[in-house]
Structure 1
């Protein structure tokens, strides 16, 4: 059935000569023009129109980002159907079509590469505070093992800021106010510094109260960026960029799922997990749960402190900054690009997202250097050749407390070094037919020095810190791409390719030797087409894809050996998964008049784990709730306590964060007023079928099908220098889960919600 569905979709795409593309045209452009407008992208490391790029990509212009109120990666998924983003305390987990990582501690790395201004950012704590004064954002779907390399198994996100311009004084100011006492202001100014230099300064301040009753899910931060362009000749330029972001507030919160605990507040009420009403529901539930004698026996697990309820003392305190210098030189036969960069991340936070406390202090320093040589777009052979170096030093203190029954403290010192060489060739068989081949070879080493204090019974509180243990890993991996491109018409591209990607292996929190996992690999088969018809008024793009995912890194709450030799509860990552993911995506944009634009994107996604077997750990020995088949159990610490392993088989289950159907619709109409001003009315809606949020596959950790809609009304001045927008997002006020997980010991579920209905006014002035 899977192959037949894909085959039918591919045949449809070929018949229409129609791939997935981009929000290339901003429906909110201040001066509507005949036909659809293109957006220029650099996803393939060369400048090209998104409609000419033989790659599955969603590109969103800076104007569209402002109009949609996109201020972070989490909100970006409203405009990119293939993307799912989950905030988690001080980290951000990113998924593309079900491929991603649950980033829960300092060891975690995303499987979707995040790049800012051409610089790869390793830490899942760090992709924050960059969504202002942007040129565009690119979401590249599928493994990017050739041109991007490490940790781009599922794809890549490229955030591109505006660059300085020579000889021009310009800028803009944006101010926004809304409910939840939301206040946001951003500004940018471009200043010429003589004939060969220009400076661009930009900044943003965000201050919003929390969406939850206990103050969590707030947004507070300040960011600044300075960019200096030096262009001594028409052939050479250097752009120096320095950016800084300070994040504070309470951070992401949780809600007790009423499907898990009878009497828990309704999700629509957005009652936070530390709210007395939620805590009372948890205590009522725990009244029927037996505990050990020192916890007061039956019903006293929570009131005795043996199990910690969420509290209201969570916080975020992060500082992120970086510098880069991008040099570009025209050598005549090719363009040379060199990007050295340094980034620093300092993240301190306390969160209760899984229902218990985690407190993290994480410091990371990374250095990178990428050098590329891209040929001119002329001749029969075109190429991109390059080298990449990356190093990161990370130190952290991670403290997890479930109360007086289990605590874990570990302080990893991690070091990563990666070096790679890559190249991609395009050979023109004819003016219309091209062959593509590329490859990358990566050598990566990782090392750790970690001390671990993990406590279960009988030493649950303040367990002794064990002796430091070390570890070293080394990986060598070749990834590649092969494809064909054909211009079926002046504005029609058909392409097919096979590409691979990998995510490096690493460590998880446990005493050696069983504390490592191997790399994961993904091979993607893609057939697509991009088309413009009717005098550039109709765009029809199609993509069919089949992904083969092997040695999949699965993270879950399992049993980890402590330095004492006893097993206790902790985060485990194992190569337990093997899955196949296939589907189609069709994107339609239609501008029947200068004043109207329709858009529709439909994605069909069928993801399933062919093999997924894990050993789930129970501190108390009680059965662990799961939607999978339990094939057996065994004592973890015989003769010491009742802790048990439960072997589970989740093979055949759908991949997480993989709604089978996703439909995005949008429409905008521009009214031209008599005084020369314009009024733009627009709306968009996203419809998704149900999907699981966790590899436990419990029904109460599953998001039901939903629809979420936004609308806006913009008045533009006659001189196009100012605009006033009224907006409303999540009109339905749906309580949509973006993350859910089981709180161990009590075995109840907590979740994180997407933003509620928000509304406000936005004013922009351009000069």
Structure 2
């Protein structure tokens, strides 16, 4: 009923909007010099995109596609990938420990580990990228960036559930020698350079070399006062560089061969996040009343290094009525990060001098990925009445991933968590057919279908490190330190990942020590259990030191200098596999009311790949979860008309989503003691389950006007209403560790999807005119996002297992990001081959959360970029 009412209401609005627009014929070029002078450079109406796997005018595409070319990105002050959301309503991009997470209209995925895949598919030059780490170092010497909203299940396929983001690099140009060099300097001690050189090699071949360098920080500050900690550099400092070499060969008018090779490296202090839980519970203040960039760092210096490279190739041949295209790609990612550890953020009344800065609890991440993508496609040429695509797609990825979370300064005992998988494989193949048929010169029918089969496999270890070491009179327990100055874990360099046969205390001690590549300066683990590992003393070596003295432990007598008892826990074996297949399809129609006015309607589907969960001995965790599915109903119009004597654009689209088999993370028992009646669970873990469903509806509008006095106005607006219709999960905010980690169940029904603002508006006002012998331009890009939630809990009250109730704020879990405005400004002056620019991004210095990690005593925020401004000079030749 809701869908029928919405469709009827939107259809009425759509027809009214078209009826109010005069159906002008295609306008001829204006040769009047007075009028032409009112046009700014680059005012060509034609924007070419490849959303339908062929080059076509954006106004001819029956879907919502936003494209920004390199010049527009530069003028908008968009210098890195996350800032795209300022210009594209409905788009959200966050970065968690190097994982780029893309959401479009509230649909996406925060699970970018080996357990899952992105929900909005990133592409480079039309080729799928499975691990979107390091996308930022591809953001230079671009032709354009395209954001295609809604599922692209037939043509793009793999994980294009929410849509696609396609970064398209500048191509070599035949018969033309040229290029540019660019340098910039900005606030927060940032500086960078970029350049490209295009070299023709005869009449049929050209190469293009491009390079990029940037040194900047994310605007976080170290609020620590401890002697060692105050010298730590905050997270978010980065020094990145990259290079790209492209080759184009067109030996005749039928054959085209292109190659693109690229290399990039990110270094710095790691991607920043801020745990606000302690600040909220201590002060009762909401996040917007705190400074989330004032972080209290401690322990180890944050460190990150990400090296990536790839090569793409494409061969195209025109047979006359149809063409053929073969593409292949290989990409490699090698990522390592030691987190910049913190004790939360500073807040009013906090005694910074009372903090235990000698705390080296930390998280370590490692990801290696080698992926191959191949596609063969046959397609009809544009002159044909039936423009079809048929093709096959193959994807293979080998991953190796490592994660280690260390706890330091524990009161007693010791516990850490490691998940290291040296062998992870994903494989997918698909076959598809898609086409557009001209029924008449005005009516076109659309249709497509795609069959996909996928399988995944994973082998490694996952679970806890634990040391329980007894003192005098078998008292419990001695503390252990791991991760102090100089520590590095082995992770993927472990000599052994087979724990199935390790059932002795000596074997477990050896396995724990093998997890350490370099022991920290003040670590005690090897000192305490080294004698167990080498067989010289099964009770280990009792070590007592002031920094591990909990005030009541004494080394026992009579155990050869060892402990009175030793219990050691190591991770479990992890073996996971899954296999699934699915079919995506689309049907639709386009109708031209006039050469400048088109109506369209279509139904399309998309899937996101399933995956597997961590496994634990005796647990009830399901081994795999199934693909998510989206069905979208869409109607819209695309219109060009004359306004103020110039060509203008007005587009309107309405959509309704049925989101099924949706994955939510849920707490599930991992250690069930069935010897008790009834059975008792002694441990829980977050797992992925297909337990949700949602409905989404909304509308998007686009208006482009060229105004008198050299002004131009572009407005993109989106309205989005999301509602979870199925989903009951354990409330991780109320996890009770006295009950083995159990949490109360909570229904998500009626909640909004995370990151989904109801209203999102982007408006760009620009002006360009001649001054002297050059041309001056300025522009302002304003973006408004209404409030959105950062988790599926929607800041609901928390009801604990004992029946007590707290508001989310009282418990430390506010997750509402209030609405905010972002403003970017830019000015430029071009004279001959020189261009000078000044820019300012996030002028109002809005501090907005783009992602939250929520768990027991955990509310980590990942923020937008702080205010940045600077100067840039560019010479073209």
**TM above 0.5, one fold?**
yes
Q: 2:241 aligns with which of 222, 233, 242?
A: 222
Q: Quick one: distance in 2 between partners of 1:353 and 1:550? A: 38
Deviates most, 311-320 or 137-146: 311-320
Matched residue, 1:423:
433
Alignment of 1:4-153 (within 5 A): 4-5=5-6, 7-17=8-18, 32=40, 37-103=45-111, 105-153=113-161
Contact 1:225 1:243 in 2 (8 A): yes
State the Cα distance separating 1:358 from its structure 2 match: 2.8
Q: Going by fraction, where is strand more abundant, 1 or 2?
A: 1
How far residue 70 of structure 1 moved from its aligned partner, in angstroms, is 2.5
Alignment of 1:462-473 (within 5 A): 464-473=569-578
CA distance 1:467–1:406, shift in 2 (3 Å) = closer
Equivalent of 1:363, from 340, 364, 368?
A: 368
Between stretches 524-533 and 73-82, larger displacement belongs to 73-82
Q: Hey, what's the Cα distance between the residues in 1 that align with 2:757 and 2:723?
A: 11
* Bigger mean CA offset, 153-162 vs 400-409: 400-409
Higher deviation after alignment, 108-117 or 563-572: 563-572
Aligned partner of 1:492 in structure 2 is 597
Partner of residue 766 from structure 2, selected from 668, 671, 690? 668
Give the aligned partner of residue 644 of structure 1: 742
Structure 1 residues 115 and 35, CA, compared in 2 at 3 Å: closer, same or farther? closer
Q: CA–CA distance in 1 between the matches of 2:281 and 2:692?
A: 27
Q: Does 1:249 align with 2:268?
A: yes
- Greater Cα offset, 496-505 or 106-115: 106-115
Q: Does the 8 Å CA contact 1:106/1:398 hold for their aligned counterparts?
A: no
Selected match of 1:574 from 689, 705, 723? 689
For residues 372 and 256 of structure 1, the distance between their equivalents in structure 2, rounded to whole angstroms, comes to 48
CA deviation string 1:645-665 (max 9, x = no partner): 321211110011100011111
Instruction: Report the 3-state secondary structure (helix = DSSP H, G, I; strand = E; otherwise coil) of the residue aligned with 2:369.
Output: strand
Q: Does 1:204 align with 2:216?
A: no
In the alignment, structure 1 residue 533 sits paired with structure 2 residue 641: yes
Distance apart, 1:255 and its partner CA: 2.7
Task: Give the distance between the partners of 2:341 and 2:51, measured in 1 at CA.
Answer: 35
8 Å Cα contact 2:305/2:335 also seen in 1? yes
Give the corresponding residue for 1:514.
622
Is the partner of 2:14 in helix, strand or coil? helix
For the residue of structure 2 that corresponds to 1:129, the secondary structure is helix
Comparing 213-222 with 164-173, greater Cα deviation is found at 213-222
In the TM superposition, residue 739 of structure 1 has moved relative to its aligned partner by: 1.5
Q: CA contact under 8 A between 1:6 and 1:583: conserved in structure 2?
A: no
Q: State the secondary structure of the residue aligned to 1:663.
A: strand
CA distance in 2, matches of 1:325, 1:563: 52
The 2-side partners of 1:568 and 1:246 are apart by 40
Deviation at residue 10 of structure 1 after TM alignment: 3.3
CA deviation string 1:334-386 (max 9, x = no partner): 12111111111111112369977431111111111011112012233220111
Matched, 1:407 2:416: yes
Secondary structure of 2:707's aligned partner: strand
- Determine the structure 2 residue equivalent to 1:324: 312
Q: Over residues 419-443 of structure 1, what are the superposed CA-to-partner deviations in whole Å (9 max), with x where a residue is unaligned?
A: 1001112111100100011000001
**CA displacement, residues 286-315 of structure 1 (integer Å, 9 cap, x when unaligned):** xxxxxxxxxxxxxxxxxxxxxxxx756222
Structure 2 distance, partners of 1:45, 1:487, is 21
CA shift for structure 1 position 261: 3.9
Deviation at 1:508, TM superposition (A): 2.5
Gaps of 5+ in 1: 19-28, 277-309, 624-634, 636-641
Q: Distance in 1 between matches of 2:341 and 2:631?
A: 33
Distance 1:2 1:604 in 2: 16
Give the distance between the partners of 1:422 and 1:246, measured in 2 at CA.
Answer: 36
1:724 deviates by 0.8
Please list every run of 5 or more consecutive structure 2 residues that lacks an aligned counterpart in the other structure: 20-36, 223-233, 345-360, 470-478, 481-511, 513-567, 675-680, 796-807, 809-813
Alpha-carbon distance, 1:671 to partner: 2.5
Q: CA deviation at 1:266?
A: 7.3
Structure-2 separation of matches of 1:654 and 1:760? 38
2:258 aligned counterpart, secondary structure: strand
Q: What is the rounded CA distance, in whole Å, between the counterparts of 2:754 and 2:119 in structure 1?
A: 14
Alpha-carbon distance in structure 2 between the residues aligned to 1:232 and 1:242: 21
Identify which range, 34-43 or 522-531, moves more after superposition: 34-43
What is the alpha-carbon distance in structure 1 between the residues aligned to residue 268 and residue 686 of structure 2? Answer: 26
Deviates more, 1:683-692 or 1:121-130: 121-130
**Aligned equivalents of 1:491, 1:250: Cα separation in 2:** 52
Does the CA contact (< 8 Å) of 2:844 and 2:867 recur in 1? yes
Which residue pairs with 2:774 in the alignment?
Answer: 677
TM superposition shift of 1:397: 1.2
Instruction: Check conservation: 2:657, 2:695, Cα contact below 8 A.
Output: yes
Q: 1:578 offset after TM fit, Å?
A: 0.4
- CA deviation map 1:482-529 (0-9, x unaligned): 000011111112111000000111012233752321110000010011
- Equivalenced residues, count: 701
On the 8 A contact 1:453/1:563 being kept in 2, the answer is no
**Correspondence for 2:503:** none
Distance between the aligned counterparts of 1:601 and 1:498, measured in 2? Answer: 23
CA contact (8 A) 2:240 2:267 kept: yes
- The aligned residue for residue 170 of structure 1 is 178
Instruction: Report the CA distance between 1:248 and its aligned residue.
Output: 0.9
The secondary structure found in structure 1 opposite 2:72 is: helix
Name the counterpart of 1:604.
719
Paired residues for 1:291-306 under 5 Å:
none
**Which of the numbers 691, 694, 701 marks the counterpart of 2:815?**
701
Give CA-to-partner distance per residue, 1:620-653, whole Å, 9 cap, x none: 7269xxxxxxxxxxx5xxxxxx432321211110
CA contact 1:253–1:353 (8 Å) conserved in 2: no
Query: In structure 2, do the counterparts of structure 1 residues 678 and 349 end up closer, same or farther at CA, with 3 Å as the change threshold?
Result: same
Deviation of the 1:455 alpha carbon: 5.6
CA contact (8 A) 1:687 1:706 kept: yes
d(CA) in 2 for partners of 1:351 and 1:568? 26
Contact 1:584 1:605 in 2 (8 A): yes
Paired residues for 1:382-461 under 5 Å: 382-401=387-406, 404=410, 407-412=416-421, 413-454=423-464
| Separation in 2, partners of 1:260, 1:682 | 43
How far 1:263 moved relative to its partner?
7.8
1:275 aligns with 2:300: no
CA contact (8 A) 1:182 1:207 kept: yes
Corresponding residue for residue 632 of structure 1: none
Task: Describe the shift of the 1:260–1:752 C-alpha distance in structure 2 as closer, same or farther (beyond 3 A).
Answer: farther
Cα deviation for residue 38 of structure 1 reads 1.9
* Structure-to-structure mapping, 1:224-243, within 5 angstroms: 224-243=243-262
**What's the C-alpha RMSD, in Å, of the aligned pairs?**
2.8
Greater Rg by CA: 2
After superposition, the C-alpha distances for 1:543-570 in whole angstroms (9 at most, x for unaligned) are 10001000112236x3462799976454
Deviation of the 1:332 alpha carbon: 0.8
Tell me the distance in 2 between the aligned counterparts of 1:339 and 1:575.
Answer: 34
Q: Is the 8 A contact 2:181 2:875 kept in 1?
A: yes
Partner of 2:710: 595
Give how far 1:666 is off. 1.2
